[in-house]
Structure 1
Amino acid sequence: MKIVIIGSGFSGIAAAAYAAKEGHDVHVYEKNNTLGGRARQFTTDRGYTFDMGPSWYWMPDVIENFFNDFGYKASDFYELVELNPQFEMVFEDEVIALPADYTEMKALFDRIEEGAAVQLDRFMADAKYKYEVGMMDFVNKPCHSWFEFVSLKIAKSAFKLDLLSDFSQFVRKFFKHPKLVTLMEFPVIFLGAMPDNIPALYSLMNYGGYRMGTWYPMGGFVKIIEGMTAIAERLGVKFHCNAEVEHIEVKDGSARGIRVNNDFCIADAIISSADYHHTEQMLLDEEYRNYGEAYWESRTFAPSCLIYYLGFDRRIPNLKHHTLFFEHDLYQQAKEIYEEKIWPTNPLFYVCCPSKTDPEVAPIGHENIFLLMPIATGLNDGESIREQYFKQMITRLERHTGTTGLIDGIRYKRSFCIADFMEDYHAFKGNAYGLANTLRQTAVFKPAVRNKKVKNLFYTGQLTVPGPGVPPSIISGKIVANEVCKQCFL
Structure 2
Amino acid sequence: MTEQTRQKTAIVIGAGVGGVATAARLAKAGFKVTVVEKNDFTGGRCSLIHHEGYRFDQGPSLLLLPHLFAEAFHDLDTSLEAEGVRLIKCEPNYNLWFGDGESFELSTDLARMKTEVEKWEGKDGFERYLGFLQESHRHYELSVKHVLRKNFTSLLSMMRPSFLRHLLALHPFESIYSRASKYFWTERLRRVFTFGSMYMGMSPFDAPGTYSLLQYTELAEGIWYPEGGFHKIIEALVNVGERLGVSYRLSTPVAQILLTRDSGRATGVLLSSGEQLSADIVVNNSDLVYAYNNLLPPSTTATALSKRPSSCSSISFYWALDTQVPALSAHNIFLADEYRESFDNIFKKHLIPEQPSFYVNVPSRVDPTAAPEGKDAV
Fold similarity call, TM over 0.5: yes
The answer for unaligned runs of 5 or more in structure 1 is 370-490
Q: In the alignment, is the contact (CA less than 8 A) between 2:56 and 2:318 conserved in 1?
A: yes
1:296 pairs with 294, 306, 324, which one? 306
Q: Is 2:17 the partner of 1:6? A: no
Partner in structure 2 of residue 17 of structure 1: 24
Q: Is 2:118 the partner of 1:110? A: yes
Structure 1 stretches (4+) deviating beyond 6 angstroms?
A: none
Q: In the alignment, is the contact (CA less than 8 A) between 1:138 and 1:149 conserved in 2?
A: no
Q: Residue 64 of structure 2 aligns to which amino acid in structure 1? A: W
Quote the Cα distance in structure 1 between the aligned partners of 2:324 and 2:202: 35
Count residues with an aligned counterpart: 365
* CA offset digits 1:312-362 (Å, max 9, x no partner): 222223111111111332322322222222333222211111111112111
SS of 2:315's equivalent in the other structure is strand
2:293 pairs with 257, 281, 290, which one? 281
Partner in structure 2 of residue 88 of structure 1: 95
Partner in structure 1 of residue 73 of structure 2: 67
Cα separation, partners in 2 of 1:274 and 1:25, compared to 1, 3 Å: same
* CA offset digits 1:199-256 (Å, max 9, x no partner): 2121211111122111111111111111222222222211111111122223412333
Q: In the alignment, is the contact (CA less than 8 A) between 1:90 and 1:327 conserved in 2?
A: no
Partner in structure 2 of residue 40 of structure 1: 47
Give 1:101 deviation, angstroms.
Answer: 0.8
Cα separation, partners in 2 of 1:146 and 1:285, compared to 1, 3 Å: closer
Q: In the alignment, is the contact (CA less than 8 A) between 1:137 and 1:154 conserved in 2?
A: yes
2:269 pairs with 258, 271, 275, which one? 258
Give 1:118 deviation, angstroms.
Answer: 0.7
Partner in structure 1 of residue 181 of structure 2: 172
Quote the Cα distance in structure 2 between the aligned partners of 1:300 and 1:181: 27
Cα separation, partners in 2 of 1:136 and 1:232, compared to 1, 3 Å: farther
Quote the Cα distance in structure 2 between the aligned partners of 1:227 and 1:303: 30
Q: Is 2:212 the partner of 1:206? A: no
Q: Is 2:64 the partner of 1:53? A: no
Q: Residue 47 of structure 1 aligns to which amino acid in structure 2? A: G
- 96-105 vs 272-281, which deviates more? 96-105
1:31 pairs with 38, 43, 63, which one? 38
Q: In the alignment, is the contact (CA less than 8 A) between 2:107 and 2:222 conserved in 1?
A: no
Q: In the alignment, is the contact (CA less than 8 A) between 1:141 and 1:148 conserved in 2?
A: no
* CA offset digits 1:377-418 (Å, max 9, x no partner): xxxxxxxxxxxxxxxxxxxxxxxxxxxxxxxxxxxxxxxxxx
Give 1:23 deviation, angstroms.
Answer: 0.8
Give 1:156 deviation, angstroms.
Answer: 4.1
Q: In the alignment, is the contact (CA less than 8 A) between 1:56 and 1:216 conserved in 2?
A: yes
Q: In the alignment, is the contact (CA less than 8 A) between 2:108 and 2:218 conserved in 1?
A: no
What percent of counterpart residues are identical?
Answer: 28
Quote the Cα distance in structure 2 between the aligned partners of 1:193 and 1:322: 20
Note the 1:82-161 alignment, pairs <5 A. 82-93=89-100, 94-114=102-122, 115-149=124-158, 153-161=162-170
- 142-151 vs 2-11, which deviates more? 142-151
Quote the Cα distance in structure 2 between the aligned partners of 1:357 and 1:295: 40
SS of 1:211's equivalent in the other structure is helix
Partner in structure 2 of residue 314 of structure 1: 323
SS of 2:194's equivalent in the other structure is helix
The TM-score with structure 1 as length reference comes to 0.71
Q: Residue 306 of structure 2 aligns to which amino acid in structure 1? A: W
The TM-score with structure 2 as length reference comes to 0.91
Q: Is 2:248 the partner of 1:242? A: no
- 316-325 vs 140-149, which deviates more? 140-149
